[in-house]
Amino acid sequence: MDSWEDIKLFLTNIIWGVMRFKDKVVIVTGASRGIGRATALAFGKEGASVVVNYVKAAKEADSVVTQIKKLGSKAIAVKCDVSNEGDVKEMVELTIKTFGKLDILVNNAGIVFDIPFFDKTTEHWRRTIDVNLMGVFFCSKYAAIHMKKQKTGKIINISSTNGIDTLSPDSMDYDATKFAVISMTKNLATELAPNITVNCVAPGWVDTDINKNLSKGYVKEEIRRISLKRFGKPEEIASAVLFLTSDEASFITGSVLVVDGGYQ
């Protein structure tokens, strides 16, 4: 384990029996960095076997796997472009082959092109839709096939406050997909009930690599609009995901949990 804090957490979980996800199998898409990475590690700390999905960042994904194993849990890294139906089907099948089941899917993978409207190309729009929306469809479909056989399962979709009421013209294609993900969440919750729950987490500003190139002036102005006066941490979004996939949230489905620090 990397640190004394990790050792203490691991031992505490064993002593007090708070490994909420012991023996659970989880796929986290886009798990090599940011919110996905934090979520994969959070599940690993609580005993889950984790499939760390990535599309390009193999080294980073392998690092997440290594950290999860040091915490005493199982993990594998799987290269898969979620916009490719064949890739997704193979990832889910590999998960079942390796761990024997699939309990939780976290649809986190996403991209954004912050480009002025008249500079947007058809390729920008199509790629954004393919990853952010079709990826959720493909992963949910093939995960749900197995979950229905098990008569149990949980799906979490990562949307954004941009899909609710935050306007950003330079990312209107991203905003449209995140709005659609919320609609898909509600529809899937109805379609897959009563044995599979489907919920959505809508983060506001989070301190991740995707936001690292924002200007200092813009960041300062946005922080002014956040009640808690800071960007969120990836781990704080991960905590919301773990809550919605835990037994404590067994009577919650079709819901959207906004995690934005009180953005106004």
**Domains parsed from the chain with CATH numbers:** 21-259 (3.40.50.720)
pLDDT of residue 14: 55
Residue 15 has pLDDT above 80, yes or no: no
pLDDT of residue 2: 62
- Name which residue leads in pLDDT, 17 or 167: 167
pLDDT of residue 213: 82
pLDDT of residue 212: 81
Q: Per-residue pLDDT tens for 112-152?
A: 999 999 999 999 999 999 999 999 999 999 999 999 999 99
Whether 142 sits among the annotated catalytic residues: the reply is no
Average pLDDT over residues 40-54: 98
Structure tokens given for 38: 């934090």
The set of residues, in sequence order, having a beta carbon less than 8 Å from that of 170 and lying 6+ positions away, is 114, 115, 116, 117
Indicate the pLDDT class of residue 1, thresholds 50, 70 and 90.
low
Q: How far is CA 240 from CA 35, 46, 200, in A?
A: 11, 14, 10
Active-site choice (54, 174, 218, 263): 174
User: Is 208 in a helix, a strand, or coil?
Assistant: coil
Indicate the pLDDT class of residue 167, thresholds 50, 70 and 90.
confident
Residue 16 has pLDDT above 50, yes or no: no
Residue 59 has pLDDT above 50, yes or no: yes
Which of 228, 86, 225 has the alpha carbon at shortest distance from 166?
A: 225
258 φ/ψ sector (left φ>0, alpha ψ -120 to 50, else beta):
beta
* Full-model pTM: 0.92
User: Is 64 in a helix, a strand, or coil?
Assistant: helix
Indicate the pLDDT class of residue 211, thresholds 50, 70 and 90.
confident
Query: Which residue shows structure tokens 């749900």?
Result: 144
